[in-house]
């Protein structure tokens, strides 16, 4: 590990911590409808949108069933529209690249992917999707899928904080508020800063360039409304790039500063969600504790990834390659990385993008060392609760928290309670479902892919690597991450459909049980804390919750990981 | 007295002294464990049921391997795994059977008292009405029976006429007879108890089969033990884990098959290994011990001579936030005792004491006796032998609220201040100002002043105090540490109540309480989200008892109170609630600790099984074999054997409960996480290694 890599990591986490707390407060105020200063600025837009929503947004508070139904209906309608747009893009304007409509299964996969906040891309965007589809379809759902996650978190937090109520808030109001007051302004600012760094923002098709070598691949570089889409793809844990190379592409991520800011944007809102939760349940210590849990898991894994990428590859050392860091080079394993970010900058991003369910990349994950691959897989297999998606990270962590509170509560001899509310069989069932189903989707999806020729035949590499690729694909899909290990012909029918199912399971089979859990907690009485109750903000409980997340993840995926990256790791060490 | 010693002390008097020796218990439990292999019984425990299915599957694999099926692994290995899987199920059953067996002896002795009795049913609820002889089993609710001296009360009921000494040792283990009489708070009688003197007319309140004794028998046998909400939640967690591990194990077949094809070495993992992995990962430790923990918890409660009619209440006891305690009998000894003589000006203290002693000779109440004792202690005054001829005794009565004696021309009276004031006024005297001031001062301190008069002259005061029980302050301090708030309820005036509350160290008190006050108070605490516990015995307590989350009723209490409460304390000891709280907490802690252990120990098993299972496909994974186990097969067998033996090893913990000392939640959590969490992580490593070495020594499990 080099000093510069550690300094980058330290600076990043410090910035996240400093910015996330006030942003979380602000988020909570937006959801509580207490954002006075901001209302003056964005109030007119909010009122316009709410007027368009009409009666639906006027109803004061929805039950959990009502909230879930509105959320599902909205997302389903989004998928249909997005599917239609992608299929019909050839007939619509703003298609300077003259791209054809997407084939049905690919359009389905893409629509599901963007609406579920996964942004798994089974295509090369710049050569497949028109500007209109990028801007009016994909970028719009970059906003709305993030807003969906945040709205769900707000509703769930209201349930945890509720006193004798059945209402979790109004989905339409939450959706409009968080989009208008949080996502739009943040994206606007980030997009402008990115443009200042050289990220392109244009409606024209291509910029012709003179190739250095006559035989070079293209003589034109595709342009487009990039900065506006990159900003929200990073902020909203979406990760779907304008270019196939994603944030490794110089037009998406040109400078070390843009790299730092985009990396910060990956973690910012998921981290802020912890603090927002604390503010929404009127116990800020709980928010800080959730953030601490995430940090406790993230920090060591990030260091493993940094160390793995910075280490020398024995086989390369034997052929006389100097991989050591020195005054003239960053050192480390540079295959599949941009030299302007170096091994450290890429490893840090890889850890951040898989911890948060972002999935954007600034290097090729397929070229990561096995140690870093293990980290990326592991971070996703925690169920994307270490930062995780915007909103979804925190409510996913709450499912683990219910289990941890249950066990810790028993161990101190009390019926388990969180925020003064008893957790009983129903909560247990719902939390178990929210953890079980995405994990099952990963395990079963991978198993089917291994067993049927359509899945097993799509791998382009031999042995353990092939298995890692399949496992990574389903892990990424079912946890709504969206990054890929590549090496897999993901455009095949089996994977487009299989991963679409995994993405749907991973998104809605967490949201709905957690909304139901919040619904049942909302009408429960809360007992004031006493010296005998479990303090869920104490360091001891933070460690216990982190251990619960890690142990559940490890027990579920250890055999699969052993067959993939762990074997690769030992092979690499032995070579 | 600490809670545990209280628990033990109470135990001595129960029927539990008669328990069969350990070997007999174990043999009986072993037979029962085998009987429980019946799938119809086994399916109640999903974890053990899955293990049994796995055992059946491996047995089938073993048989086909013996019959010549081609297999990756030798038949002896498959047979060994099958054998230990069956043992795993049997060990789980054994734990439950042992726990049930402990209660069975108690149930047997209870059942003997329920031996067929006949009852004399009255046609009308009068002693002299016509009687029919009927079997006890034929009695209906509201039938009226008469029980003569020496007869057994045929069913639970309420005394409507008469008073009698009743031997209730069959239920309580207490040999001293108790008085049961019509009206008041001692009217409830229990079927199976014996009338020693006089006779009782009893209205039946619970027909045979539904009485207290029957409930108790069912309870100790664990037959009608309903799962508590907490147990259900834990069951869901265990089921979820089982499903996850089922998926993890089953998907290894396609995974390893794929890796073998893609990597060109080895094959899919053998089915026997998959089953072994599944059983090792599943929470078999807690799954096997879960019901034993529950039964043992109820059993501990019974040994403390408490009968819980709802398991939910036992759990709630561990969770109580507020404790409502009746002052009388719970916090104080219940009888006021004389503690000081305060003479009027110009009267010698000794004279006052002598007059008070004389005036109290005719007062048979505990208060009166305490005056006599105090005079003896302070001034060495012996109660003079007075023959009725020398003196005229005026016994204490509730109407006059005075007692006294007319002797040697003196008219000595001792009584409540206002009664004596009237007595003095009748004789032309009055209470001196000093005494009046003294009365006010004494009342403020929570004590009761009695005034002693000789004719028209007031001699002074005797101060009576309600004596607070020793050691209570410590108990309440403990409660406070556990986060439990203690509230004293008393009919006293606020001044007296405040003084006693301060002396006893309770957190709060309610003075001048009426039954409605109690109910309102419980509702108020519950509204604030607390679980409330209370003790009571009277019919007027019934509404409050029904409202409380944990309601402990004294066995001496009325039928109405017993029906309203959810626990009956056979010893009628109001401080028993503290012991019940401890038992409830211990029950929950044992479940939590063993679940944590069960899950944590999986990590070590992975390190044993994963390298072994994939030895053919990915020999590189041998690096994960931290324990350097003999061979892949002995590694897997060792993990399975450890998994089975740990159930047996933890049976004592399940039956006895984890050790429990009241402490702050953070301390408890840290202790249990260290012992059972960290212990669960570490312990299996040396144990599995040891078993592996032993297997190697015995030449079992093959050599790599």
pLDDT digits (tens, 9 = 90+) for B279-329: 999 999 999 898 888 888 888 888 888 888 777 788 788 778 888 887 766
**Are B585 and A447 an interchain contact pair (Cβ–Cβ within 8 Å)?**
no
User: Residue A450: its pLDDT value, please?
Assistant: 93
Rounded CA-CA distance B60/B275 in Å is 12
| Partner-chain residue, chosen from A415, A447, A562, that has the shortest CB–CB distance to B254 | A447
Residue A329 has pLDDT above 70, yes or no: yes
Give the pLDDT of residue B439. Answer: 85
Contact A533 B665 (CB under 8 A): yes
CB A372 within 8 A of CB A350: yes
DSSP letter string, B364-427: -SHHHHHHHHHHHHHH-PPPP---TTTEEEE---TTT-EEEEEETTEEEEEEEHHHHHHHHHHT
> CA distances (Å), B521 to each of A30, B491, B505, in order?
40, 14, 20
A138: left (phi over 0), alpha (psi -120 to 50) or beta: alpha
pLDDT at B12: 37
| pLDDT given at position A54 | 76
Percentage of residues of chain B with pLDDT beyond 70: 90
- Give per-residue pLDDT as tens, B374-405: 888 888 877 665 655 677 888 877 677 788 88
B665 chain-A contacts, CB cut-off 8 A: 412, 414, 531-535
If you ran DSSP here, which 8-state letter would residue B70 be given? Answer: -
Those residues whose C-beta lies under 8 Å from the C-beta of residue B160, and which sit 6 or more positions away, are B125, B144, B182, B201, B202, B203
3-state secondary structure of B537: coil
Residue B595 structure tokens: 């679940």
Measured between alpha carbons, how far is A220 from A218 in angstroms, rounded to an integer?
A: 5
**β-strands B532-536, B550-554 pairing:** parallel
> Across the interface, which of B233, B602, B666 has its CB nearest the CB of A538?
B666
* Residue A279: both structure tokens together: 């503010």
Average pLDDT value for residue range A365-385: 93
- d(C-alpha B552, C-alpha B576), whole Å: 9
Query: What residues of A are in contact with residue B592 (Cβ under 8 Å)?
Result: 407-412
How many other C-beta atoms can be found within 10 angstroms of the C-beta atom of residue B267? 13
Taking alpha carbons only, the member of B529, B554, B532 closest to residue B544 is B532
Beta B508-510 vs B131-135: how paired, if at all? unpaired
Q: What is the pLDDT of residue B328?
A: 67
CA-CA distances (angstroms) from residue A132 to A89, A93, A205, A224, A247? 8, 7, 12, 10, 21
* Residue among A416, A444, A558 minimizing CB distance to B610: A558
Segment A184-206, tens digit of pLDDT = 999 999 999 999 999 999 887 77
- Is B669–A528 a contact, with Cβ atoms under 8 angstroms apart? no
Sheet with B402-407, side-by-side order of all strands: B332-343, B457-468, B448-454, B410-416, B402-407, B391-394
Residue of B255, B321, B581, B668 to mutate, testing the A interface (most A Cβ within 10 Å of its Cβ): B255
Q: Which of B239, B602, B665 lies nearest to residue A412, judging by beta carbons?
A: B665
Does position B254 have pLDDT exceeding 90, yes or no?
yes
Give the pLDDT band of residue B15 (cuts 50, 70, 90). Answer: very low
Other CB atoms within a 10 A radius of the CB of residue A509 amount to 18
pLDDT band at residue B271 using 50, 70 and 90 as cut-offs: very high
Give the residue among B204, B232, B313 at the shortest CA–CA distance from B548. Answer: B313
Structure tokens at B315: 């759990």
Bridge partner list, B464: B338, B448
In terms of DSSP bridges, do strands B532-536 and B322-326 run parallel, antiparallel, or are they unpaired?
parallel
Most confident of B61-65, B100-104, B221-225: B61-65
Would you state the pLDDT for residue B213?
A: 72
Token pair, residue B479, equals 């409660």
Mutate to test the interface with B, among A410, A537, A550, A570 (most CBs of B within 10 A): A410
**Burial of residue B388 (number of CB atoms within 10 Å: 0-12, 13-18, 19+):** exposed
Is A408 near chain B, with CB under 8 Å? Answer: yes
Runs of H (alpha helix) within B15-118: 22-35, 39-42, 46-66, 75-113
Per-residue pLDDT tens for A508-546? 999 999 999 999 999 888 877 777 788 899 999 999 999
Complex confidence, ipTM: 0.92
Q: Summarize chain B as % helix, strand, coil (round to 5).
A: 55, 15, 30
- Taking the C-alpha atoms of residue A510 and residue A392, their distance in angstroms, rounded to an integer, is 8
Among B293, B323, B300, B303, which residue's Cα sits nearest to residue B482? B323
Residue of A nearest to B240 (CA): A432
Query: What is the mean pLDDT of the segment spanning B95-122?
Result: 75
Question: Using H for helix, E for strand and C for coil, what is the string for B136-205?
Answer: HHHCCCCCEEEECCCCECCCEEEEEECEEEEECHHHHCCCCCEEEECCCCCCEECCCCEECCCCEEEEEE
Whether the Cβ atoms of residue B295 and residue B8 lie closer than 8 Å to each other: no
Residue A59: per-residue pLDDT: 64
Torsion of CA B114, B117, B123, B127, to 10 degrees: -90
- What pLDDT was estimated at residue B630? 87
A189 at B interface, C-beta within 8 A:
no
- Residues of B tagged active-site: 326
The alpha carbon of residue B578 is apart from the nearest alpha carbon of chain A, in Å, by 14
Q: Which residues contact A28 (CB under 8 A, 6 or more apart)?
A: A275, A276, A279, A280
pLDDT for B558 equals 74
A198 touches chain B (CB under 8 A): no
Q: CA gyration radius for chain A?
A: 23
- Per the confidence metrics, is the pTM higher than 0.95? no
Contact A555 B617 (CB under 8 A): no
**What mean pLDDT is predicted for residues B85-112?**
82
Q: At what angle do helices A3-31 and A139-161 cross, to 10 degrees?
A: 70
Contact B672 A574 (CB under 8 A): no
Average pLDDT of chain B is 82
Residue with more model confidence, A39 or B258: B258
User: Quick one: pLDDT at residue B382?
Assistant: 74
The angle subtended at Cα B158 by Cα B156 and Cα B164, nearest 5°, is 100
Share of chain A above pLDDT 90, in %: 65
Q: Which of B222, B279, B227, B293 is nearest to B592 (CA)?
A: B293
**Reported confidence tier of residue A82, pLDDT bands at 50, 70, 90:** very high
Instruction: Please provide the distance, in angstroms rounded to a whole number, between the alpha carbons at the two ends of chain B.
Output: 60
Q: Cβ separation of B259 and A554 shorter than 8 Å?
A: no
Angle at A40 between CA A36 and CA A42, to 5 degrees: 105
Distance from CA of B666 to the nearest CA of A (A): 7
Phi, psi of A522 (to 5 degrees): -60, -35
Determine the distance in angstroms separating the CA of A415 from the nearest CA of chain B, rounded to an integer: 6
Does the pLDDT of residue B212 top 80, yes or no?
A: no
Give tens-digit pLDDT for B634-643: 999 999 999 9
Alpha carbon of A520: minimum distance to chain B alpha carbons (Å): 15
Average pLDDT over residues B471-486: 80
Distances (CA, A) of A255 to B11, B16, B184: 78, 80, 90
SS3 call for B343: strand
Candidates A370, A404, A413, A475, partner chain B, best to mutate (most B CBs within 10 A) = A413
Partner B contacted by A460 (CB < 8 A): no
Closest chain B residue to A432 measured between Cα atoms?
Answer: B240
Cα(A391)–Cα(A237) distance, integer angstroms: 10
The residue of chain A with its CA nearest to that of B528 is A527
Tokens of B419: 């009664």
Question: Is B319 in contact with A415 (Cβ distance < 8 A)?
Answer: yes
Of A425, A433, A467, nearest to B255 by CB-CB distance is: A467
Tokens of B490: 């008393």
More confident residue, B356 or A328: B356
Q: Provide mean pLDDT across the span A406-429.
A: 90
Q: Is the pLDDT of residue B202 over 70?
A: yes
Enclosing H/E stretch for A550: helix A539-561
DSSP state of B311: H
Give the residue-averaged pLDDT of B554-561: 76
* Residue range A20-52, pLDDT digits in tens: 999 999 999 999 887 666 666 777 888 888 888
pLDDT value at A285 more than 90: yes
> What are the tens digits of pLDDT across the range B673-688?
999 999 999 999 999 9
pLDDT > 70 fraction of chain A, expressed in percent and rounded: 96
**A423 contacts B258? CB cut-off 8 A:** no
Q: With beta carbons under 8 A apart, name residues in chain B contacting A525.
A: 527, 529
SS3 B344: coil
Residue A240 host element (H or E):
none
- The distance of B625 to chain A (nearest Cα, Å) reads 12
Q: What residue has token string 């009893």?
A: B202
CB spacing of A467 vs B672 below 8 angstroms? no
Contact A450, A468 (CB under 8 A): no
Task: Tell if the CB–CB gap between B245 and A555 is shorter than 8 Å.
Answer: yes
Please state which of the ranges A36-45, A319-328, B183-192, B364-373 shows the lowest mean pLDDT. Answer: A36-45
CA distance B583 to B264: 59
Residue in the structure block whose two tokens are 């400078």? A255
Chain A residues with beta carbon closer than 8 angstroms to that of B240: 432-433, 435-436
Distance separating alpha carbons of residues A338 and A259, to the nearest angstrom: 11
Overall average pLDDT of the A235-248 stretch: 90
Query: Residue B487: its chain A contacts at CB < 8 A?
Result: none
Listed in sequence order, the residues at least 6 apart from B667 whose beta carbon sits closer than 8 Å to its beta carbon are none
pLDDT band at B16 (very low <50, low <70, confident <90, very high): very low
CB distance from A203 to chain B under 8 Å?
no
């Amino acid at each position: 590990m080099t000093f510069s890599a550690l300094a980058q990591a330290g600076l990043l986490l410090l910035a996240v911590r400093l910015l996330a707390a006030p942003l979380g407060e602000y988020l909570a105020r937006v959801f509580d409808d207490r954002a006075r200063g901001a209302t003056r600025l964005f109030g007119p837009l909010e009122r316009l949108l709410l007027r368009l929503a009409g009666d639906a947004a006027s109803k004061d508070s929805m039950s959990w069933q009502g909230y879930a139904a509105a959320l599902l209906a909205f997302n389903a309608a989004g998928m249909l529209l997005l599917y239609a747009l992608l299929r019909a893009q050839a007939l619509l304007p703003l298609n300077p690249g003259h791209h054809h409509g997407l084939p049905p299964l690919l359009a389905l996969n893409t629509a599901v992917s963007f609406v579920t906040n996964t942004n798994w891309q089974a295509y090369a965007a710049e050569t497949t999707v028109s500007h209109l589809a990028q801007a009016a379809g994909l970028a719009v759902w970059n906003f709305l899928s993030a807003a969906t996650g945040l709205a769900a978190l707000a509703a769930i937090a209201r349930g945890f904080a509720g006193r004798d109520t059945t209402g979790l808030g109004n989905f339409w109001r939450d959706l409009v508020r968080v989009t208008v007051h949080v996502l739009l302004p943040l994206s606007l600012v980030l997009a402008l800063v990115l443009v200042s760094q050289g990220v392109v923002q244009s409606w024209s098709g291509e910029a012709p360039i003179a190739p250095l070598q006559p035989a070079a691949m293209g003589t034109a570089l595709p342009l487009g409304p990039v900065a506006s889409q990159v900003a929200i793809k990073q902020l909203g844990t979406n990760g779907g790039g304008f270019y196939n190379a994603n944030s490794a592409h110089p037009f998406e991520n040109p400078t070390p500063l843009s790299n730092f800011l985009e990396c910060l944007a990956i973690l910012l809102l998921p981290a802020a969600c912890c603090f927002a939760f604390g503010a929404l349940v009127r116990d800020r210590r709980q928010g800080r504790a959730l953030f601490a849990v995430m940090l406790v898991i993230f920090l060591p894994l990030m260091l493993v990834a940094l160390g793995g990428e910075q280490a020398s590859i024995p086989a390369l050392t034997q052929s006389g390659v100097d991989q050591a860091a020195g005054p003239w080079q960053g050192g480390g394993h540079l295959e599949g990385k941009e030299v302007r970010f170096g091994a450290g900058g890429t490893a840090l991003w890889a850890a951040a993008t898989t911890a948060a369910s972002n999935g954007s990349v600034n290097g090729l994950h397929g070229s990561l060392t096995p140690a870093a691959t293990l980290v990326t897989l592991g971070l996703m297999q925690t169920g994307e609760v270490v930062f995780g998606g915007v909103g979804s990270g925190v409510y996913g962590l709450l499912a683990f928290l219910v289990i941890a509170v249950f066990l810790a509560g028993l161990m101190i001899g009390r019926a388990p309670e969180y925020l003064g509310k008893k957790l009983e069989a129903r909560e247990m069932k719902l939390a178990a479902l929210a953890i079980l189903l995405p994990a099952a989707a990963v395990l079963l999806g991978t198993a089917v892919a291994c067993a049927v020729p359509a899945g097993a035949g799509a791998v382009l590499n031999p042995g353990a690597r092939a298995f890692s690729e399949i496992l990574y694909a389903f892990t990424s899909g079912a946890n709504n991450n969206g990054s890929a290990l590549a090496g897999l012909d993901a455009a095949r029918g089996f994977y487009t459909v299989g991963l679409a199912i995994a993405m749907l399971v991973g998104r809605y089979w967490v949201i709905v049980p957690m909304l139901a859990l919040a619904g049942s907690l909302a009408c429960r009485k809360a007992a004031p804390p006493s010296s005998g109750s479990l303090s869920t903000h104490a360091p001891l409980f933070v460690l216990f919750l982190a251990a619960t997340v890690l142990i559940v993840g490890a027990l579920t995926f250890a055999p699969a990981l052993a067959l993939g990256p762990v074997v690769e790791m030992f092979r690499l060490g032995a070579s | 007295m600490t809670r545990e010693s209280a628990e033990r002390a109470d135990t001595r008097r129960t029927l539990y002294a008669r328990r069969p020796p350990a070997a007999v218990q174990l043999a009986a439990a072993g037979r029962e464990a085998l009987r429980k292999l019946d799938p119809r019984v086994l399916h109640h425990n999903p974890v053990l049921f899955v293990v049994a299915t796995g055992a059946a599957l491996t047995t089938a694999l073993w048989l086909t391997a013996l019959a010549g099926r081609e297999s990756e692994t030798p038949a002896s290995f498959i047979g060994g795994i099958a054998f230990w899987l069956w043992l795993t199920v049997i060990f789980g059953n054994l734990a439950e059977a042992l726990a049930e067996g402990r209660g069975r002896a108690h149930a047997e002795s209870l059942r003997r008292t329920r031996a067929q009795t006949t009852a004399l049913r009255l046609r009308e609820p009068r002693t002299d009405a016509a009687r029919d002889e009927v079997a006890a089993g034929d009695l209906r609710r509201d039938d009226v029976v008469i029980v003569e001296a020496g007869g057994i009360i045929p069913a639970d009921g309420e005394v409507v006429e008469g008073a009698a000494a009743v031997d209730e040792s069959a239920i309580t283990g207490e040999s001293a007879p108790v008085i049961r009489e019509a009206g008041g708070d001692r009217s409830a009688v229990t079927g199976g108890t014996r009338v020693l003197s006089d006779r009782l007319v009893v209205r039946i309140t619970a027909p045979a089969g539904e009485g207290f004794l029957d409930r108790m028998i069912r309870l100790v046998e664990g037959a009608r033990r309903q799962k508590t909400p907490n147990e259900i939640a834990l069951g869901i967690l265990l089921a979820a884990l089982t499903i996850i591990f089922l998926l993890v194990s089953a998907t290894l077949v396609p995974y390893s098959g794929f890796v073998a094809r893609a990597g060109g070495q080895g094959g899919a993992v053998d089915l026997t290994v998959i089953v072994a992995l599944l059983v090792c990962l599943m929470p078999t430790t807690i799954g096997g011990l879960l019901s034993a923990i529950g039964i043992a918890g109820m059993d501990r409660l019974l040994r403390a001579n408490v009968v819980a009619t709802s398991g939910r209440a036992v759990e709630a006891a561990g969770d109580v936030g507020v404790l409502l305690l009746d002052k009388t009998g719970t916090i104080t000894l219940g009888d006021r005792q004389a503690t000081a003589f305060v003479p009027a000006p110009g009267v010698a203290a000794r004279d006052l004491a002598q007059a008070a002693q004389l005036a109290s000779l005719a007062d048979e109440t505990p208060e009166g006796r305490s005056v006599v004792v105090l005079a003896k202690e302070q001034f060495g005054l012996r109660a003079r032998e007075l023959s009725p001829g020398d003196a005229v005794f005026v016994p204490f009565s509730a109407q006059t609220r005075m007692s006294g004696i007319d002797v040697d021309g003196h008219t000595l009276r001792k009584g409540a201040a206002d009664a004596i004031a009237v007595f003095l006024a009748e004789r032309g005297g009055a209470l001196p100002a000093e005494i009046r001031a003294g009365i006010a001062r004494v009342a403020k301190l929570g004590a009761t002043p009695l005034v002693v008069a000789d004719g028209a002259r007031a001699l002074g005061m005797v101060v009576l105090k309600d004596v607070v029980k020793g050691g209570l302050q410590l108990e309440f301090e403990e409660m406070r540490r556990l986060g439990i708030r203690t509230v004293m309820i008393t009919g006293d005036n606020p001044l007296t109540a405040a003084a006693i509350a301060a002396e006893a160290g309770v957190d709060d008190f309610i003075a001048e309480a009426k039954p409605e006050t109690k109910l309102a108070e419980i509702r108020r605490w519950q509204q604030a989200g607390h679980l409330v516990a209370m003790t009571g015995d009277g019919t007027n307590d019934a509404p409050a008892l029904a409202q409380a989350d944990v309601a402990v009723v004294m066995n001496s209490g009325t039928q109405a109170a017993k029906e309203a409460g959810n626990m009956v304390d056979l010893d009628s000891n109001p401080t028993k609630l503290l012991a019940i709280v401890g038992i409830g907490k211990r029950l929950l802690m044992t479940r939590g600790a063993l679940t944590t252990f069960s899950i944590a120990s999986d990590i070590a098993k992975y390190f044993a099984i994963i390298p072994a299972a994939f030895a053919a496909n990915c020999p590189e994974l041998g690096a994960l074999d931290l324990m350097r186990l003999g061979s892949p097969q002995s590694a897997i067998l060792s993990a399975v054997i450890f998994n089975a033996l740990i159930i047996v090893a933890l049976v004592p913990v399940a039956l006895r409960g984890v050790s429990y000392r009241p402490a702050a939640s953070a301390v408890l959590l840290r202790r249990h996480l260290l012992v059972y969490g960290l212990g669960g992580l570490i312990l299996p490593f040396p144990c599995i290694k040891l078993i592996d070495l032993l297997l190697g020594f015995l030449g079992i499990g093959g050599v790599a």
